[in-house]
């Protein structure tokens, strides 16, 4: 206990509040107008500026090294930086607090030091030479030892696992699986490793420190809208295969602009064709990239390019399975909004096979009857069209595929649980009800290199459509999973996910 205490920083347990330790110095600098040449406290400006420059250098290097669209062919170590390593580096700047504290203490104890020049070019050159001479041999020796050990361990593991080692080529390798995502909004665009790696390693939430950066992120949005193509965001390894997350440079609101539809489909199509040329096995479409009104759940691309070798997957089969397996055993009746959507149709047809009464909220009798006719004759009675929320005031299981206002939620009886597949998810206005999250699953424990969270999900958890693509790849399915959901495959895909260690949250 004592050794651990002596080896840790005194401010280790303060978390973000450790920066309060700078308060007295900042306060004195402001009170003494330290930025003025005649101020006796001008040395404080130098100390604080050195800290800011050191922090900026760290941030810029971290951002550059995580810009995989620029650096992936130049990386020495192929493994990604995982959550454990990021947590270890979370308090990288503890030594800066120590340095500025010691410097300030020395200047107070020895006032004569304040009259030394703040800059000396000759002294800087000498210090640089001595620093390089002293540290370069040690650095390269440590570098060779570290990477030599890692390479030896890698080939040792390959030898004993009867795998054939491939030439070590850094990150210049073809991914086997790609999850094709898009940006949600301006705030969420900052939740990527090349902006702030530590922030990206936690579930997304709007934080106060993001607000000053919002104008910069907005400018970046216009830039990528005008010039960018699909690019790599992050990656991880699973079962010895490389999985990458690519981002279509479009934001959520773009998908609802009529004039932007063709441009978005062009971006998705180019990404699929690029993946096909590279030899990617599966491309899984995220969220709005598979919107029915946009491209028919991916059917546009497979119909246009019938000879694709890459499999295009919307992942909705597993999404439906996740929602269905959340419904408690013994449920006899559910109420559903968004009932005639792709997911709503599949869920309704699956439940009616289980003899569960489904109140399908829709004003379109034609769309309801089309779905009802798909059910077996003996099961059609379990599908019921309703047009008002009052019809569900005795039903405690709501499946939400369309946004619900507080007024609409009010019709649910106390104790209702809201299962959701609506994007964005509804807000929990009712304290006497419970609200499920969007369908998601936890990746297997042997996934390596996970270092960023998928939107607001926990570490190691991905959206069900992402997990669905992973299952498609691991199972080696030869078909495209696009368009309408095959009801007969819901249980098949669910069992396959569990078999591969992909678990419900």
148 has a pLDDT exceeding 50: no
260 has a pLDDT exceeding 70: yes
Confidence of residue 108 (pLDDT cuts 50, 70, 90): confident
100 has a pLDDT exceeding 60: yes
Distance from C-alpha of 381 to C-alpha of 368, rounded to nearest angstrom = 13
Angle of the 490-499 helix axis to the 464-475 helix axis, nearest 10: 80
Residue among 183, 186, 176 nearest 264 (CA) = 183
Backbone angles phi, psi at 22, to 5 degrees: -80, -10
| Average pLDDT value for residue range 39-52 | 79
51 has a pLDDT exceeding 90: no
137 has a pLDDT exceeding 70: no
Residue among 307, 237, 189 nearest 449 (CA) = 237
Q: How far is CA 312 from CA 243, 316, 326, 345, in A?
A: 15, 12, 27, 21
Per the model's pLDDT, the better-predicted residue between 177 and 78 turns out to be 177
User: Could you read off the pLDDT of 171-199 as tens digits, one per residue?
Assistant: 458 899 999 999 999 999 999 999 988 89
User: Could you read off the pLDDT of 428-445 as tens digits, one per residue?
Assistant: 889 999 999 889 999 999
Characterize the bridge pairing of strands 440-442 and 461-463. Answer: antiparallel
Give me the residue label for tokens 């078909």. 479
Give this prediction's pTM: 0.81
Q: What angle do CA 42, 44, 45 make, to 5 degrees?
A: 70
DSSP category for residue 135 = H
142 has a pLDDT exceeding 70: no
Q: What percent of the chain has pLDDT over 90?
A: 59
Per the model's pLDDT, the better-predicted residue between 9 and 209 turns out to be 209
Characterize the bridge pairing of strands 177-183 and 231-238. Answer: unpaired
Per the model's pLDDT, the better-predicted residue between 45 and 378 turns out to be 378
Neighbour order of strands in the sheet with 241-251: 231-238, 241-251, 177-183, 282-285, 311-313
Per the model's pLDDT, the better-predicted residue between 82 and 152 turns out to be 82
What pLDDT sits at residue 165? 35
Backbone angles phi, psi at 53, to 5 degrees: -65, -40
404 has a pLDDT exceeding 80: yes
| Average pLDDT value for residue range 229-237 | 93
Indicate left, alpha or beta for 239 from its phi (over 0: left) and psi (-120 to 50: alpha): left
Q: How far is CA 232 from CA 83, 175, 181, 197, in A?
A: 19, 11, 10, 15
Joined tokens for residue 136: 């370069």
| Average pLDDT value for residue range 114-132 | 62
Residue among 279, 278, 270 nearest 301 (CA) = 270
Q: How far is CA 304 from CA 229, 271, 384, 472, 477, in A?
A: 21, 14, 37, 22, 21
Strand, helix or coil at 404? coil
Distance from C-alpha of 58 to C-alpha of 74, rounded to nearest angstrom = 19
Confidence of residue 152 (pLDDT cuts 50, 70, 90): very low
Characterize the bridge pairing of strands 357-361 and 397-400. Answer: unpaired
Give me the residue label for tokens 């062009």. 266
User: Could you read off the pLDDT of 7-25 as tens digits, one per residue?
Assistant: 577 887 777 788 888 888 8
Distance from C-alpha of 365 to C-alpha of 232, rounded to nearest angstrom = 44
Contacts of 445 (CB under 8 A, 6+ apart): 501
User: Could you read off the pLDDT of 299-338 as tens digits, one per residue?
Assistant: 999 999 999 999 999 999 999 999 999 999 999 999 999 9
Please state, as a whole number, how many other Cβ atoms lie within 10 Å of the Cβ of residue 20: 10
What pLDDT sits at residue 139? 43
What pLDDT sits at residue 164? 35
Q: What percent of the chain has pLDDT over 70?
A: 85
Confidence of residue 163 (pLDDT cuts 50, 70, 90): very low
109 has a pLDDT exceeding 60: yes
Contacts of 365 (CB under 8 A, 6+ apart): 385
Written as one string, the DSSP assignment of 416-476 is: -EEEE--SSPPP---TTSEEEEEPEEEPPTT-B---S--TTSPTTEEEHHHHHHHHHHHHT
What pLDDT sits at residue 433? 94
Per the model's pLDDT, the better-predicted residue between 263 and 58 turns out to be 263
Confidence of residue 167 (pLDDT cuts 50, 70, 90): very low
What pLDDT sits at residue 106? 83
Contacts of 432 (CB under 8 A, 6+ apart): 414, 415
Contacts of 87 (CB under 8 A, 6+ apart): 201
What value does the CA radius of gyration of the chain take, rounded to a whole number of Å? 28
What pLDDT sits at residue 123? 63
Residue among 428, 445, 444 nearest 436 (CA) = 428
The ranges of the chain annotated as CATH 3.40.50.720 are: 325-438
Give me the residue label for tokens 């104790």. 415
Q: Which CATH number fits domain 325-438: 1.25.40.10, 3.40.50.10360, 3.40.50.720, 3.40.50.300?
A: 3.40.50.720
Considering only 38-52, 282-296, 304-318, which range has the smallest mean pLDDT?
Answer: 38-52
User: Could you read off the pLDDT of 463-482 as tens digits, one per residue?
Assistant: 999 999 999 999 999 999 99
| Average pLDDT value for residue range 280-287 | 96
Distance from C-alpha of 253 to C-alpha of 189, rounded to nearest angstrom = 13
């Amino acid at each position: 206990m004592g050794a651990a205490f002596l080896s840790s920083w005194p401010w280790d347990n303060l978390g973000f509040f450790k920066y309060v330790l700078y308060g007295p110095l900042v306060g004195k600098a402001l009170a003494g107008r330290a930025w003025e040449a005649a101020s006796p406290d001008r040395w404080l400006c130098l100390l604080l500026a050195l800290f800011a420059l050191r922090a900026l250098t760290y941030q810029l290097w971290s951002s550059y090294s995580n810009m995989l669209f620029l650096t992936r062919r130049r990386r020495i170590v192929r493994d990604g930086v995982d959550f454990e390593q990021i947590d270890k580096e979370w308090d990288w700047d503890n030594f800066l607090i120590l340095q500025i504290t010691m410097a300030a203490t020395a200047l107070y104890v020895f006032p004569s030091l304040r009259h030394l020049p703040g800059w000396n070019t000759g002294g800087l050159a000498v210090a640089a030479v001595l620093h390089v001479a002293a540290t370069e041999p040690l650095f390269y020796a440590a570098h060779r030892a570290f990477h030599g050990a890692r390479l030896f361990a890698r080939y040792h593991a390959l030898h004993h696992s009867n795998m054939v080692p491939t030439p070590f080529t850094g990150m210049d390798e073809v991914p086997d699986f790609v999850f094709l995502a898009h940006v949600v909004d301006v705030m969420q665009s900052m939740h990527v490793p090349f902006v702030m790696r530590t922030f990206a390693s936690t579930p997304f939430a709007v934080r106060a420190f993001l607000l000053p950066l919002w104008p910069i992120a907005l400018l970046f949005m216009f830039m990528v809208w005008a010039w960018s193509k699909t690019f790599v965001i992050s990656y991880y390894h699973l079962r010895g295969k490389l999985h990458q997350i690519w981002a279509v440079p479009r934001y959520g609101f773009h998908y609802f602009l009529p004039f932007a539809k063709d441009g978005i489909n062009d971006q998705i199509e180019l990404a699929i064709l690029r993946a096909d040329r590279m030899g990617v096995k599966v491309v899984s479409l995220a969220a709005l990239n598979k919107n029915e009104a946009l491209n028919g759940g991916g059917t546009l691309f497979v119909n246009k390019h019938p000879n694709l070798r890459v499999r295009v997957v919307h992942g909705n089969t597993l999404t439906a399975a996740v929602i269905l397996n959340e419904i408690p055993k013994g449920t006899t009746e559910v109420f559903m909004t968004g009932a005639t959507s792709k997911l709503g149709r599949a869920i309704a047809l699956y439940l009616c096979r289980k003899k569960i009464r489904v109140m399908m909220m829709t004003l379109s009798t034609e769309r309801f009857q089309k779905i009802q006719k798909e059910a077996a004759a003996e099961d059609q009675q379990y599908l019921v069209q309703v047009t008002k929320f009052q019809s569900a005031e005795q039903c405690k299981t709501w499946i939400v595929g369309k946004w619900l206002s507080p007024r609409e939620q009010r019709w649910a009886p106390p104790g209702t649980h809201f299962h959701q597949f609506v994007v964005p998810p509804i807000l929990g206005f009712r304290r006497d009800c419970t609200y499920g999250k969007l369908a998601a699953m936890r990746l297997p424990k042997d996934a390596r290199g996970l270092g960023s969270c998928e939107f607001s999900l926990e570490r190691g958890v991905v959206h069900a459509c992402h997990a669905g693509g992973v299952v498609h790849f691991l199972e080696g399915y030869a078909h495209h999973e696009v368009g309408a959901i095959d009801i007969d495959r819901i249980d098949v895909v669910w069992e396959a996910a569990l078999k591969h260690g992909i678990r419900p949250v």
